[in-house]
Structure 1
Amino acid sequence: MRQVKHLLADKGSVVHSVSPAAPVIDAIRMMAEHHVGALIVMDGQRLAGIVSERDYARKVVLKGRSSSATPIAEIMTTEVVTVSPEDSVDHCMRLCTERRVRHLPVVDADRVGGVLSIGDLVKAVISEQTEQIEQLQRYIAG
């Protein structure tokens, strides 16, 4: 099974991040601009949390709060589930399922080196299964 580092090599390691002090509206604009569902919250070089569209919907919209007056620190998730570059795709899929998260920051030596989404993981699993099916078909045919 492929490892996180292989997925990042294919996908790239761009990390879209915001400050905990920034207003929520900035995060929502950035998510829309980059077509992502979550942003890493960085306090300087330190991973402080993650903020997602789900956080916005549940902690701002449903509570009638102002997107421009609410800082990200008030709605972000601080107990971030992370993975390392050496972790397997299977391990990441289990984490997403068990912890009910859709985004996994990749941390190596206390440095955020990328983010994997559930979509990235599903794509990797489908690709691996397709390769296995093709190998089996070649084996049977030849």
Structure 2
Amino acid sequence: MEVGMSTNVAHIIDRKGGEVVTIGPAATLAKAAALLAEHNIGAVVVSRDGTTVDGILSERDIVRQFASTDGVGTGSVSVSTAMTTGVHTATPAATIDELVQIMTTGRFRHVPIVDGGALVGIVSIGDVVKSRMDELQTEAESLQEYVTGTSY
């Protein structure tokens, strides 16, 4: 494994798996909220066919919709009304540095991963932090081995 933040996104997808929870744009926010709770996730990719990215719906989007209507009828509002469009995506070949830049500039915590136009995964800021922590652990062990001449 390449050490440092230049590790690519494919490494994260390989480790966590490529399963992505999706929802159709015509579904209700009540259904979307139940899906987020069921899978213990903070965002769901909006897709008509489970392969293309039409949008993304985060907990934040649901809260904004709730606030804009004082909660009245929010559960019956369609996902397409509240979702974020113009979604920033990355490819499996993107580096973690590139992904962090996308997340930081856009101020979002989830990036769908697309390869050849098809959704192949999603990476959260938590996945990025875990990847970096794993890299730091590997670096520390390598340094310890180098300094002491022992291996783990």
TM-score (norm 1): 0.94
Higher normalized strand content (fraction of residues): 1
What is the Cα-based RMSD across aligned positions, in Å? 1.3
2:41 matched to 1:36?
yes
Distance 1:63 1:78 in 2: 20
Other-structure match for 1:140: 147
Q: Partner of 1:6 in structure 2? A: 11
The CA distance in 2 between the partners of 1:88 and 1:124, in whole Å, is 12
Long gaps (5+) in structure 1: none
User: 2:58 corresponds to which letter in structure 1?
Assistant: S
Larger Rg: 2
- Structure 1 residue aligned with 2:66, among 60, 66, 78? 60
Per-residue deviation at 1:59?
1.9
Mind listing any 5+ residue stretches in structure 2 that lack a counterpart? 1-5
Corresponding residue number in structure 2 for 1:129 = 136
Tell me the percent identity: 35
Q: Which runs of 4+ in 1 moved over 4 A?
A: none
CA shift digits 1:2-29 (9 cap, x unpaired): 2111111110111101111111100000
Taking the aligned partners of 1:24 and 1:72, their CA distance within structure 2 comes to 6
Aligned length: 142
Please tell me the residue identity of whatever aligns with 1:97: T
Q: Deviations over 1:60-113 (max 9, x none)?
A: 245324233210111100011101010111211121112101000000111000
Give the match's secondary structure for 2:54.
strand
Taking structure 2 as the reference length, the TM-score comes to 0.88
Distance (whole Å) between structure 2 residues aligned to residue 109 and residue 97 of structure 1? 25
Q: Secondary structure at the match of 1:13?
A: coil
